[in-house]
Structure 1
C-alpha cells in the first residue's frame, strides 16, 4: 500500500510502541509529547528510557513537542494520551486540522472518562468536528508495549463503525510481528479494553496474597462475565468479549508484570494505601479511575458486577481485600451465566 503520514499523540509506552510499528512499516511518523525533554532523547538516542528502557526505536520515529507540526498533513492521527487528558488534547488537535486534510482519528487509549462515562472514541467525536476528520477508529487488544517493541508476536484488532476505516488502520499497522484484525464493534472493543484494567487490579492483589490458579481462574472467568454484561447493556456484541479485545486483553493485563494495573493490585494486596501506590507507579494507572466509572455505570444500568463493586470498595472505601473475597465467596447461590 502507499505509505502514510502518521501522527501519534502521546509519547508514553504505548504511544511510542505504536509509533515504532508505523515507522518500521515505512510510514512517516511524528510522535507528539507534551514533555519537551523527551524530544532530544527520542530523536538523538532513539530510546524512551522512562517508559521502555534501553530498547532501540526505529530512527524514523521523530518526536516533537509541537502538535501543529506533528499533525500537519497527517493521514492518520492516533490519540494515545491518558483518558483524563483526551478531551483537552482533542480540543487542541481540532485547532490544528484543516478541512482539506481530514485524517482518520484512532483511539488507542483504554479507559472511560470520569464524570461523563464516555469512551475515548466518543470524546474524539465530540471534540473534533466531522468536517475535520475522515472517520474514527479504535485499536485495541492484548498488546503490552514492552513486548511490541521487542517484536514479541502480537495480535490486536482495529475497529470502526465504518469497516473501510478499520481496514485502513489494519493495513497501515499490520506486519510480520504485529498482526491486526478488523471489525466493527466499537462499543465492545472499548469496553473490553477499559474494564479489563479493573479485573487486573484484583489479579495483582491475589498474586501478592498468595492465591493460586483456582482463585485466578475464578476471577478471570467471572470478571469477564461482568465486563460482557456491562458492555452488552450499551449495545456491544457479546462475541467481542471472547476475542482479542475481551478475553485476550484481560489475560495479558491480568497476568503480566508489564501491566501497571496488575502491579498496582500487587501493592494494594501488600497493604499499601492507594495514594502510595499511585505515587510509586509514576505513570497513569487507568484501572483506578475506570473502576469508579464502571461501578457508577453498573448502578445506573442495574447491572450486577460484584467483583467490580468489591474492587471499588477496596480502592475508594478502604475495604479489606480478604474480607471482600470472603463476601464474594459467600454470595447467594445462582446459576452460571453471562
Structure 2
C-alpha cells in the first residue's frame, strides 16, 4: 500500500535513464558512417600542431593513428571497380591528369584542359568499398594511385599538401593503404559531384587551385571549408566502352546518399567498441532502476524514512 504509493521517484528515475539510453542508441544508429571520427575537435592551434607533427613524422599521432587504422580495417574489401574521369567544377573542361613527369617517389598529378576520351591521360580506375570510400588508379600508369602524400607545399601556410601518383607495393590492395584512400562526400550541384576528402588527412580536400603550372594547373589537398566556393567540387563520371570501337560514353557516378535504418543498425552492431559500450550503459540503466525500486520500498517500510530522504540517500549511494 504505502510502498506502492511512494514509487513516483523510482519511476521518474527509470524514465529519465530510459531517455538517456534511447538518445545514445539514436546517436549510434543515426551516424554509423562517421563512428571512427567521433574524436573531439581540437582548437585551431592544436590542430595545426598535430598536422605539422604528422607531416614531419609521417606516423600520425594518437588518437589519429587509432582512427586511421580503424578506418583502414573497415574498408579492406573492394566492392566495385569502374573507369572514370574527374572533372573540376571550378575549371569546367579541365580534368585530373596522370602526368608522366616524375615527382619525388612517384609521378605528378595535375588538372589539364583537353578531351578526356582522347587517350588515357585522364582515365582512372576507381575502386569503391563501403558506403563512399574509393581509390583512384591511373590507367596511364598502372599500379600508381592518387596519393595524399602528407608533404606540405613550400610557401603555403594554409594547410596545402602535395598530391601525387604513387605505386602500391607488390600485390597489396589499395584499400589497405590509407594514403590511397579517399572519402567521397556529395557536394550538390548535380549527380556525380563530390568533395574528395583524404582518409589519411581528415578535413583535407582535393583542391583545383587554378594556379598555372608549366603544363596544366596545380592540384593539391587543402584544409579549408569545401562548402565555400567550388574549388573542392569535382564531377566524377564513369566511362562506358562503346560497342564496335566507337567513342565511349560517360555517365555521372552515383553513390547512395542515404542509408536505410537496417544498414545503419548493422553498422552499429558490427562495431564492437560502440556495441558493448551501449549494451553496458543499457544494462546499467535497467539494473539501477531495479535497485531504485528495491531501495525505495526497503528504506520506507523498514527504516521509516520519508520519500524525499530515501531518494536522496539512493542518489548519494549510487
Normalized against structure 2, the TM-score is what? 0.24
Say which structure, 1 or 2, has more relative contact order (CA 8 Å, 6+ apart). Answer: 2
TM-score (norm 1): 0.23
